[in-house]
Structure 1
Amino acid sequence: MPRTRPVLPLLFALLCCVVLLLLLPAARRHGPSRRPANITVRVSVLPGDPAVSYMEPAVPGPLASRRPAVLLLHGQAFTSSTWQALGTLELLAAAGHRAVAIDLPGYGDSPPAGMLGTQQGRAAFLLYVIQQLGLHRPVLISPSMSGRFALPFLLAHSEQLAGFVPIAPVGTREYSTVQYQQVQTPTLILYGDRDTGLGHQALQSLQHLPKHRVVVLPGAGHACYMDKPEDFHRALLGFLGQLQ
């Protein structure tokens, strides 16, 4: 008596083929995932200084050539991966901006670097990072501790920036009203209404920047971008849109 081939395995195989055929067009349409990659580049202020780690999403679309790049620094309790976790890097890339988040020396995957004990040294360091990354007049986002780098850079090289977004940065009292008044960089001053310390203190100095606007995020503390990420992203994208 002839043996009959089992029916169920054949039906299962046929079903798998149908599912694969249905999924292939969607895979072609959406393409590969745009998850950020953690890349390391050597950005030495002096020979022998360690490399600086940075994160950058996949290359954005054709509008990127017409929209300013964005360089994101971080606070003392955070790293470049904070901006990945919040979705900020992906959001900026989707909007057509080249978005780069670095680990400042001694944080994340960036080892400590020498010659950063002065304002001039930190400004020179940040200038060299921007040059090495090929960022042409980026918008600089500077929360909290990163003000030690961003503020001296802003006051020494404001012509190198298309915009500045300070988020309750430290060190604002180290500069005079006259120094701030000489900066013509468009600025978005951001802080949370529950940050009654650094937020208000920074505003007192930064409000002397001639081309500034202020956005206060309700219900947010010192790291307002963590407390209210949607409100933060909305304010940031609105500011970037005005620069185009």
Structure 2
Amino acid sequence: MSSSFQRKRTVGVSLKMYFDLEKTAEYIRSCSPLAPHALSHSVDIFIIPDFLSLTAASTILRLEAPTIRLGAQDCFWEDNGAYTGEVSPAVLKSIGCSLVELGHAERRRLFGETDEHVAKKAQAAVRNGMTPLVCIGEKSQGSVEEAVEECRPQMESVLGVTDEEIIFAYEPVWAIGQPEPASAEYVVSVTKELRKLCGQRPVRFLYGGSAGPGTFDAMRDGVDGLFLGRFAHDVKNFYEVIKEVGAS
């Protein structure tokens, strides 16, 4: 377990596959001035572009905003070998990535990723000195108890392979892409129960799923920050959330 772990307030954004190379570089440059604001508010921020943009993004951040963490949207569980089309976690680390998003609902649904796959990838990320950002969440809206039971194996599989820091992005699948996030009372209740499963392990919990202004302030008793999607593709919105999270 890392002795330097701190449960810092955290805000991050994934660009998924929305931008081309030029737009991604423009976005990264536009986000660079947010770094000192995030530092002054004691907020850890990260950006996760597409794979092909990682090298350019790493160069921009290294020169203009080295405190903004760079992440990747996935990785393979082996560092090298005959794995056509896969992405090496060792290469991601060498590019400058410090975290890897794993197990997003889209990858579970579209590509059949299982808890076992996610756990192996998380272990590979840690082995290469990166933080796993593991997405968890229930498919259907129900009770708090049902949500916890559905998320439990998603978490325990990852907790079973490392004692190092893990960031869990709690994203109720039914709330992704909806006009409003899940209710704050519901999210706080679920994440408080999920945190109990972690014991004294170094973990952070972020909420994702139609997150925006006002989301964190209402959920701060349960989560450490927000994992944003298209809302934060507007840099002004990203900044507003950073200020809100830092002020809470």
Short-chain TM bin: 0.3 to 0.5
Q: Normalized against structure 2, the TM-score is what? A: 0.34
Between structure 1 and structure 2, the one with the greater Rg is 1
Q: Considering Cα pairs closer than 8 Å and 6+ residues apart, tell me whether 1 or 2 has the greater RCO.
A: 2
Q: Normalized against structure 1, the TM-score is what? A: 0.35
